[in-house]
Chains A and B, each alone.
Chain A
Amino acid sequence: MTGGSMLTTMPDQATQAALMRDPRDIGGPRQPMLIAENLTKHFTFDGDRLGARVVVRAVDGVSFMVCKGETLGIVGESGCGKSTTARLLVGLIKPDTGALVFDGEEVGSVRGISIRRMQRSVQMVFQDSYASLNPRLTLADTVAFGPRVSGHSRRAARARAEAVLALVGLAPKLYAARYPHELSGGQRQRVNIARALAMEPRLLILDEAVSALDKSIEAQVLNLLQELKARLHLTYVFISHDLSVVRFISDRVMVMYLGKTVEVGPVEDIYDNPRHPYTRALLSSRPSMNPRQRRTEPPLSGDPPSPIDPPSGCRFRTRCVLAEPVCATVAPPLTAQGSAHFAACHAATPGSGHSAAAA
C-alpha cells in the first residue's frame, strides 16, 4: 500500500519544536497528520428512465498522506473528485469504503476518535462566494459560532473571534459588527480563514480558497496563508485547479483525474519532471506569460469525461497519446518514479506490458 511506502519526511526544526510543545500532538513528528486509505465515495441518482440509476464515481480508491507541517497540494480539473475528497477529509461526507487516520487514530471507529473529535483539529476554508458566509450574521457571530458549539462561553467565544479576526488582518473594532455584504471578496475570504482558525485546528483543508479572487487580492491572501501556517504551525491541504498557485504554496502535490490519483510527489519533481501524460498535458495547458512564445497546439483534445461511466482500466486512456491495449484492460497502480514520486501509468511502470515501459 502506498501509505506505508510513501515518504514520511521529518518536518523542519521549527515545526518539530512546535510539535513537542503542542499538548494535542499524539503521534510525534514522524506520524503523518492525516492518512487517507482507499477512500471511495459514489453518488447515486435516479436516471432518465424508470428504474435506471446513475452512479457518479466521484472518488474511487484514493490513498495519500499528509505529513505534519507540510502543504499537500491537490490539483485536477472538474470531475476529478478533489472537492469530494475535501469534504471527505473534514467529515462532511462519510466515505462508502476506506478510512481516515488522524494523528495515528482511526476516525469514526470504536477504537479511534469520533468525527466530531476530529473536527476539533481539522477545519476547512471554503471558496469565497456569497454563500460562504451567513448573510444574516455579523462577522463576529459567524466566527464565534465554532468556539460556542465547542463549549466556550459567549464571552470567551467572542474574545476568540475578535482575536482571530485581528490575526487575519481585519481590525475587530472596524469589522466585528459588519455583515458579509459590506465586504470585498478578499475580506470575505479572510473571514473564511478566520472562521476556520477560530476552532484552533491543526490541519486546514483549503478548497479553492483563492480561486474566486482577483489576482492582486489572491496574492495578498496567499501571503497571509503562508504567514499563518508558519506562525500557528499548521498543516495544509491546498486544493485548486490553478497549477501556478499550487506550485507556489505546496511542498508535495497530488494530481487527480476522474476520482483517482494519477501522480503524487514533491512539488519540484512533479512540475519539472512529470511522469504521467495527464500531468504533462495539464502543465503545458497553462497559458504562457510570454506573447512571443505562444502555444500552437493544445496538449489535450476533448473534454474531461464525466465520472458517471469512467473508461475501463486507465481512466485517462481515452485522451492519452500513449494509450495501448493494456491500458484498457488493467488499471495502472501507483508506482515509484523516484524517492517519493509516484505515478499511475503503464508507460512509466516497468514490466507492465506497455511498449514504452522498461521490461
Chain B
Amino acid sequence: MDLALSEMQEMLKTTARDFLEKECPKSYVREMEVDEKGYKPELWEKIAGLGWLGLHFPEEYGGSDGSFLDLTVLLEEMGRACFPGPFFSTVVLSGLLVLDAANKQQKSDLLPKISSGELILALALTEPSNTYEPSGITLRAIPEGDGFVLDGTKLFVSDAHIADYIITVARTKEAATKEDGISLFLVDAKSPGLEATLLKTIGGDKQCEVIFDKVKVGRDNIIGELDGGWPVIKRALERAAIGKCAEMVGGGQQVMEMVVAYAKERQQFGRPIGSFQAIQFHCTNMLTDVDISRYLTYEAAWKLSEGLPHKIELAIAKAGVGDCYHRVVVTGHQVISGVGYIEDHDMHLYFNRAKAAELLFGSADFYREKLAQELGL
C-alpha cells in the first residue's frame, strides 16, 4: 500500500501547476469561453513542447511512455486550472482510442502528429438519443463502393469544430444485440457533407452538433473491427470517466482552497467568518469530499493503469466524485455567498464545469445502476 505519488509524478504535478498558473490564468479561461476556437494554438504548441500531448503514448509514436496514472495527475492539475482547449478530446478520448484499437499504419499516421501538436481529434459518440448505452448509436454507415456513407446526427461532440479528424461511432449492422454492429470511422473533418455547429453549454466548453449528410469514408478508415467497435468505445468511456474524475478532483481542491482562504479573511461581527462553527463545518465537509474524491479517483486510475479489473472502482469513482464535486461547489458558493454570485468571481467557472463534468461520460445515477449490476443485483 502506497498512497503517495511517485517522485516523477510529484514533479509533473508541480511543473503542471506552475505552468498553468502562469499560462492559464482565469483571464485566459474567460477569454476562451467566448472565443470561437476555444484555445490558442501558441499554448497548444507549448504543451506539446512539454510532452503533455504524448505523455501516455509509447516513445515510437513521439510519446514519453508515461502511465495512465501519470496522465491522471496531469488531468487533476488541468481541472484545477479550468484549462480550456481540445486536450481531453484529442488525447484522452481519441488518442488513447487510436493507441488501443487502431492498426499500425493508423497509429503511425496519427499518434506522432498528436504528440507534436499538429493534429486535433474529436470523438463523435453521443446522439440526440441522450445515452451512453449502445442502443443510442443510430447514425448509419451504409456500404457503398469500397467505402461507406455516413448519415445522421451526433451531439455533444467536444471540439469537432476545430478537429482535423473526427472518430465517428456508427451503426453498420442491425443486429439482435445493440452492442453488435457498431463500427468506428476516422473521418476527415473537411469531408463534404459534414457540418459542425457549436452548442452553447454550461461548461463554456466547445461541444458541437455534427451533422453527417452522406459523408463518404473509405474502408481503410475503419478503426478496429467492422461491427465490433463497441468494446473499444466501452474502454474509451472508462478512460474518459476516470479522466473526468481527475479534473473534478483538481477543481474541487481549488474551490476548497479558495473558500477556506476567504473564510479566514472575510470579517463579519468583528471576526473572521471561518471562526464560526457553521462555516467551519461547511469547510470540513468540503475537505472530506475532496479527500475522498482524490482516493476514489486514484484507486480506479491505478487499477486501470496496472491492467487490473476496475469496473467496480470506476463506477464508484464517477458516481462518487461527481456527487462530491457537486456538494463542494454548492457549499463553496454558500460560504463565499454574494461575492461568489458575481461574474467577476471565479466560483461560477467551477460551478458550471462541475455540472458538465457530472453529466459527461455517465451521470452518478447511470454509474450507480452500473455498480448495482457489478454487485450482482
* A and B co-occur in one complex: no
Q: Chain B residues in contact with chain A, CB under 8 A?
A: none
